[in-house]
Amino acid sequence: MSIGLLLLIVVGLGVIGYILGRRRALASVAGDPRKLHSLPSQYGQSVFLFTVVPALLLLIVWLLAAPSVIDGQVRGTVTTDGVSQSEIDLKMADVGRISDGLGALMAANDMSEDDLTALTPGDSDLRGQLAAVGVAVGADVEPAVFEAAKHKRSLTNSAGLIRTVLILLVALAGLAYAMTRIRPDFRARNVSEAVVKALLLGSSLIAILTTVGIVLSLIFETMHFFRLYPAKDFFLSLTWNPQFRGGSDLGVWPLIWGTLYVSFIALLVAVPIGLLAAIYLAEYATKRVRSVAKPLIEILAGIPTIVYGLFALITVGPMLRDYFAQPLGLGNSSSSVMTAGLVMGIMLIPFVSSLSDDIINSVPQSMRDGSYGLGATKSESIKQVILPAALPGVVGAVLLAASRAIGETMIVVLGAGAAAKLSMNPFEAMTTVTVKIVSQLTGDTEFASPETLVAFALGLTLFVFTLGLNVLALYIVRKYREQYE
Amino acid sequence: MTDATAHNAPAAAPARPKSLLTQDARTKRRNAAEKRFRTYGAVAICLAIAALVMLLTSVLGNGASSFFQTYAKIEVTLDPEVLDPKGNRDPAEMSKITTIGYGNLMKQAFPASLQAAGVSTEGVPEKEIGDMLSKEAPAQLRNRVLNNPDLLGETISFWALANGRIDGYLKDRVTMTSAERDGNVSPEQLQLADRMMEADLLEKRFNWDFITFPDASELRPEAAGLGVAIIGSAYMMLIVLFLALPIGVAASIYLEEFAPQNRLTDLIEVNISNLAAVPSIVFGILGLAVFINYAGLPASAPIVGGLVLTLMTLPTIIISTRAALKAVPPSIRDAALGVGASKMQSVFHHVLPLAMPGILTGTILGLAQALGETAPLLLIGMVAFVRDYPSWPVDGLFEPASALPVQVYNFTTRGDPAFVERASGAIIVLLVFLLCMNLLAIYLRRKFERRW
C-alpha cells in the first residue's frame, strides 16, 4: 500500500475517532455538557490525537530505519571473506539497481512472483530486459549478487506489508485506548493540549535534526573519502586533476584560491557601492527618492541566482573579454574570475546596503545632533561619528556577505569556468569549491570512487568556512554593539 | 560684556573673514568634500540601479523572441498506403508507423508544395529543402493524424515548425555571413526562406508550445519547451507549502509562546539562525546523502526536491512567522486568558488568526525564494533530460521531472546558440511567476496589515 493512501486511512480513522469521542463524552453525561470537565470537542480532539500521532511517529521512524535494516540483511549475503569494503559497496550498488530493475521488469512485463524466482542471471537476455526498463547493469551479474537482489526485493515487499499492518494496528489501538479513557471527569483539555505542545516542540526540533543530518552526512562521507584518498594530499596538494580512471590529484587549494579570489572581487564591488548607497539613503535622500530607490535596489535581492548566472554568461563575460581582456592581452576566456566576481558583487549590493541601512538608522539622532552642534558638516559627522558607531554592525554585514559569496553556486558555475588554477590573473577562468561540488556530483553518481566522494569533503570545507564566518559575524555584532537607549 | 573682551576683540579679528557670506578656503574645502561625498552616494545608487536595468534588459532582450516561433506552411497529402498499410483506421495500428514514415512523406511534399505556390527552389538541393523543417515537424504531423484518423487520404495544409537556424534567420540571430561558415545551414536556404516569406509560406507566430512542450534534444532547439519544468516546479512548491507552512508555524508558536528559557531553546534558536545562512548547495548534499542514498527515494523526483527546499525555506518562514506573532499585542492574549481560555486556546483562537496575514506574506516570499533555487536541485538529479510529463500527484511526485531554474541551467549547457534564447525565455517565465508571488504578498500585506 502506498504511503499516501496509508496516511489518508490513518487521518480518516482519526476523524472517525473525533466524532465517536465527542459523542461518547456527551453520552456519558446524558447530553449535558456542563457536567463534563472539558468541552465535548476536546474529548474528540484527544481521541484524534491518540489515533493519529503514534501511528505517524511510527511511520516516520520506520521510513528512516527500514532502508538501513534491509541493507544490513542483504549485505550479509554478499559478504564473503577476503573482500574489501569498497568491493562490497560496489556490489551493494549493483544489488540495489537490479532489485529496482526487477520491480520495473515485473510491472512492464506482467510477470508473477513465480516467473521472477525462475529468472537466473544465466538467462542470456536478462541484461537486455533490464536495459529495456531503463536499468543499466554492468558486464556479468554474479549469481550471488542476483540472489541478493531477489532477496532484497522480497524483503522490501514484506517490509511494506508489515508496515501497513503495524501502522493500522497502532492507529486502531490508540483509538480504542483513548475511547476507554473518556469519562466525565477525564481532563481532555489538559491531555490534548499537552500532546499539541509536544507536537509544537517536535516541529521546532526539526531545525536541530536538519543540522545534525547535514553534519552527519558530510562527516560520514568525508571519512569514507579519506579512507580511499589520503587526507594529507587533499589538504596539502596544489593540483586538482580528477581522473575518472583513478590516480587523480585532488588537492583542495586551487579551489579555495578560486573561491577566495572570486569572493574578494565580489566584496570589492559590493561593499563600497552597498555602503555608500546605504549612507545616501539613510542620511541624504529625500523621502521620495528613498521610496523609489530602496525597493529598486531590493529587487536585486529577489532575483534568483540562476538569472545572475545567465547574465554573467551571455552579457558580462563576452563584454569583459572583448573590451578588457583581449585588448589588454590578458586572456581569451569569457568566463573568468572577474566576470563571476563582478556579477556576484551586483548580487551582494542589496545584501550589504539593506543591512548597513538598518544599522545606520539605529544610530541615535542625538549623536548626529551633537556632531552638527559642534559645527561638523554632514559628511564629516557621517565619517567621524556615525560610521565608527555603526562599525561593528557594518563589519558583521560584510562578513555575512562574504559567507554568501563563498557559498554561491550558480553564478560561478556559469561565470567562472571549470579549470582549477592557482593564478593571479583575474581575466583567467578559475574554479571554486561549489563548482566542483556540482561537477563531481551531477551525472551518474556511484558512491565508491574518491572522485565522487571528494564532493562531500569539499562540502564539509564549505560548511565549516561559512559557519565560521557567520559565527564570527554574530560574535562581532553582539560583542561590540553599542547599546543606545 | 566686560571691557576686557571688548578691548581684546579687534586684536583677534584679522584672522576672521570679513563677512559670514564669504567663505574662507577651509570652509570651501569642507563644503567641496561634503558635495563630493554626497555625489559618491548618489553614484553608488545609480550604479546599483543601472546594474538592475542592464540585467533585466539583457534577459528580456535575449528572451522575448523565444515566445515567437517560425512556422512553414506545407501542403501534404496523407497517403493511406504509407500511414495505414492495413487500411482499417485503427489508431493502435497506425501508431506503429514512426515519425520516420511521416518524415519521408513531408520531405517529398515540401518541395512540391513550394513549387505549387510558385516559389522557386532553384539552387537548393531537395535534401536541404527538407532540412529547413524542424526534426520535430514529423512528430507534430503524426500527432495530428493519430488524433484524427479521418484525415487520411486528404491533402491538408499544415503549419510545420521550421528548423532552428531558419527561425534564427527570422530573428536576426543567423545572417548570410554566419550561414556561410555554418555546416547546418546554407545561404541558399536562407534566400529560399526570403522567397517563402514573400509568398506568406513562412511566418512567426506566438509560441504557446514554449510553455507547454517538454524539453527537446540538442538538435531541435525550436521544439524545446518548459512544460515538464513548470509542472515539476509547481509540484515542489506544493510540497514546500504543505510541509514548511505547518511545521514552520508550529515551531514559531512554540518558540514565541511556549518555550521556556533554557539550553534547549537556545540551541534551537542558534540552529535556526545558522541554517538560514548555510549555503544552499549544502542542502543539496544533504538531500543526496539522506533522501536519495539513505532513504532510497527516486532521484530527479519532485518529492526529493520538495523536501530539500522545505528544509531550506523553514528558517525563512520561522523568522517571518515569529515576527508576525510578536506583532500581536499582549493585551489580546491577556484578554483571552482573562475570560478563561487556556494558553493554547488563546494562541490558536486569537493570536494565530491575527498573525495570519503576516505569516502568509512571509510564506509566499519563502516560496518565491524556493522557486528560484537551483544549486541543490542540480545535486539531486533534477538536471536529467525528462521528456515525459509526470502524472497527477501523489504518484507524480515520485516520477522524474525538471524544474524551471534547472531547465535554464540545462539550456545553457547546450551548444546551439538558439538555446541561449530559450534560457532567457525560461527566465522570463520564472521572473513572471516570482513577480506574481511578490505582488500577491504586497497585496496581502497592504490589505490585511493592522497596526495596534
Question: Pick from B224, B173, B165: which is nearest to B407 by CA?
Answer: B224
**Which residues from chain A sit within 8 angstroms of residue B30, using beta carbons?**
377, 380
Query: Grid cell 536519495 — which residue?
Result: B292
Cβ atoms of A405 and A262 within 8 Å: the answer is: yes
> Distance of CA B199 to CAs B69, B72, B192, B196, Å?
18, 11, 11, 5
> Nearest Cβ partner of A400 from B49, B277, B423?
B277
Does a structural domain hold residue A219? Answer: no
Higher pLDDT, A445 or B335: B335
Beta carbons of B279 and A203 less than 8 Å apart = no
In terms of residues, how long is chain B?
Answer: 452
> Nearest Cβ partner of A67 from B33, B296, B318?
B296
Instruction: Please check the confidence at residue B169 and state whether its pLDDT lies above 50.
Output: yes
Higher pLDDT, A455 or A134: A455
pLDDT, residue B113, reads 77
Highest mean pLDDT, choosing among A165-169, B124-128, B196-200: A165-169
pLDDT, residue A381, reads 93
> Nearest Cβ partner of B412 from A206, A297, A414?
A414
CB-based contact, B191 to chain A, within 8 Å: no
> Nearest Cβ partner of A217 from B290, B368, B381?
B290
Residue B356: other Cβ atoms inside 10 A: 15
Measured at the CA of B383, the angle between CA B381 and CA B385, to 5 degrees, comes to: 110
Instruction: Please check the confidence at residue B160 and state whether its pLDDT lies above 90.
Output: no
CB-based contact, B318 to chain A, within 8 Å: yes
Beta carbons of A413 and B255 less than 8 Å apart = no
Claim to verify: residue A345 and residue A415 sit in the same structural domain: yes
**Which residues from chain B sit within 8 angstroms of residue A461, using beta carbons?**
none
Claim to verify: residue A179 and residue A296 sit in the same structural domain: no
Beta carbons of B58 and A314 less than 8 Å apart = yes
Q: Which three cell numbers stand for residue B98?
A: 514512426
Q: What's the whole-number mean pLDDT along residues B170-191? A: 77
> Nearest Cβ partner of A300 from B48, B281, B288?
B48
Beta carbons of A305 and B344 less than 8 Å apart = no
Calculate how close chain A gets to B417, using CA atoms only, in Å: 10
Beta carbons of B379 and A409 less than 8 Å apart = no
pLDDT, residue B433, reads 93
Question: Pick from A267, A300, A258, A304: which is nearest to A416 by CA?
Answer: A258
CB-based contact, B112 to chain A, within 8 Å: no
Q: What's the whole-number mean pLDDT along residues B208-227? A: 82
> Chain B interface, mutation test: which of A190, A203, A383, most B Cβ atoms within 10 Å?
A203
pLDDT, residue A136, reads 63
Beta carbons of B271 and A277 less than 8 Å apart = no
| Amino acid present at B436 | C
Highest mean pLDDT, choosing among A46-55, A330-339, B120-129: A46-55
Does a structural domain hold residue A233? Answer: no
Beta carbons of B383 and A442 less than 8 Å apart = yes
3-state secondary structure A81-150: CCCCHHHHHHHHHHHHHHHHHHHHHHHHHCCCHHHHHHCCCCCCCHHHHHHHCCCCCCCCCCHHHHHHHH
Claim to verify: residue A195 and residue A140 sit in the same structural domain: yes
pLDDT, residue A447, reads 66
**Which residues from chain B sit within 8 angstroms of residue A309, using beta carbons?**
374, 409, 412
pLDDT, residue B52, reads 93
Q: Where are the domains of chain B?
A: 69-207, 227-448
> Nearest Cβ partner of A441 from B288, B294, B405?
B288
How many contacts, defined by CB atoms under 8 Å, are there between A and B? 264
Calculate how close chain B gets to A232, using CA atoms only, in Å: 24
Instruction: Please check the confidence at residue A468 and state whether its pLDDT lies above 50.
Output: yes
CB-based contact, B201 to chain A, within 8 Å: no
pLDDT, residue B6, reads 47
Does a structural domain hold residue A485? Answer: no
Q: Percent of chain B having pLDDT more than 70?
A: 94
Instruction: Please state whether the peptide bond connecting residue B394 to the residue before it is cis, i.e. omega within 30 degrees of 0.
Output: yes
Claim to verify: residue A138 and residue A285 sit in the same structural domain: no
Highest mean pLDDT, choosing among A145-159, B204-218, B436-450: B436-450
* Domain final position from A147, A180, A199: A199
**Which residues from chain B sit within 8 angstroms of residue A378, using beta carbons?**
34, 37-38
Instruction: Please check the confidence at residue B14 and state whether its pLDDT lies above 60.
Output: no
When divided into structural domains, chain A yields a total of 2
Claim to verify: residue A393 and residue A320 sit in the same structural domain: yes
* Domain final position from A145, A173, A199: A199
Query: Contacts by A359-368 with C-beta closer than 8 Å and gap 24+?
Result: A359/A390, A359/A393, A359/A394, A359/A397, A360/A278, A360/A279, A360/A282, A360/A283, A360/A386, A360/A390, A361/A282, A362/A390, A362/A393, A362/A484, A363/A389, A363/A390, A363/A484, A364/A484
Q: How far apart are CA B299 and CA B172, in angstroms?
A: 40
The ipTM (two decimal places) reads 0.86
Cβ within 8 Å of A, B 270-289: 271-275, 277-286, 288-289
Read off the pLDDT band of A483 (50, 70, 90). Answer: low
> Chain A interface, mutation test: which of B236, B282, B386, B411, most A Cβ atoms within 10 Å?
B282
Claim to verify: residue A287 and residue A161 sit in the same structural domain: no
Read off the pLDDT band of A113 (50, 70, 90). Answer: low
Give the SS3 label for residue B389. Answer: coil
Question: Pick from A153, A155, A176, A173: which is nearest to A165 by CA?
Answer: A173
Does a structural domain hold residue A209? Answer: no
> Nearest Cβ partner of B41 from A276, A349, A447?
A276
3-state secondary structure A32-62: CHHHCCCCHHHHHHHHHHHHHHHHHHHHHHH
Does the domain spanning B227-448 belong to CATH 1.10.3720.10?
A: yes
Residue range A365-378, pLDDT digits in tens: 999 999 999 999 99
pLDDT, residue B5, reads 47
Higher pLDDT, B19 or B266: B266
Across chain B, mean pLDDT equals 83
Beta carbons of B278 and A213 less than 8 Å apart = no
Residue range A75-99, pLDDT digits in tens: 777 766 666 666 776 777 777 777 7
Residue range B80-105, pLDDT digits in tens: 777 777 767 776 777 777 777 777 77
Q: How far apart are CA A188 and CA A46, in angstroms?
A: 6
Cβ within 8 Å of A, B 358-377: 368, 371-375
Instruction: Please check the confidence at residue B42 and state whether its pLDDT lies above 90.
Output: yes
Closest residue on chain A to B275 (Cα): A211
A455: CATH: 1.10.3720.10
Calculate how close chain B gets to A380, using CA atoms only, in Å: 8
Does a structural domain hold residue A225? Answer: no
Show the domain range for A259: 241-480
Does a structural domain hold residue A344? Answer: yes
Query: Grid cell 472517525 — which residue?
Result: A16
Residue range B377-431, pLDDT digits in tens: 988 888 878 887 887 777 778 888 889 999 999 888 887 888 888 899 999 999 9
Higher pLDDT, B167 or B360: B360
Claim to verify: residue A193 and residue A267 sit in the same structural domain: no
Beta carbons of A380 and B49 less than 8 Å apart = no
Beta bridge partners of B76: B156
Strand ranges, E, within B29-145? 68-77
Beta carbons of B286 and A447 less than 8 Å apart = no
Read off the pLDDT band of A17 (50, 70, 90). Answer: very high
Does a structural domain hold residue A183? Answer: yes
Beta carbons of A297 and B47 less than 8 Å apart = no
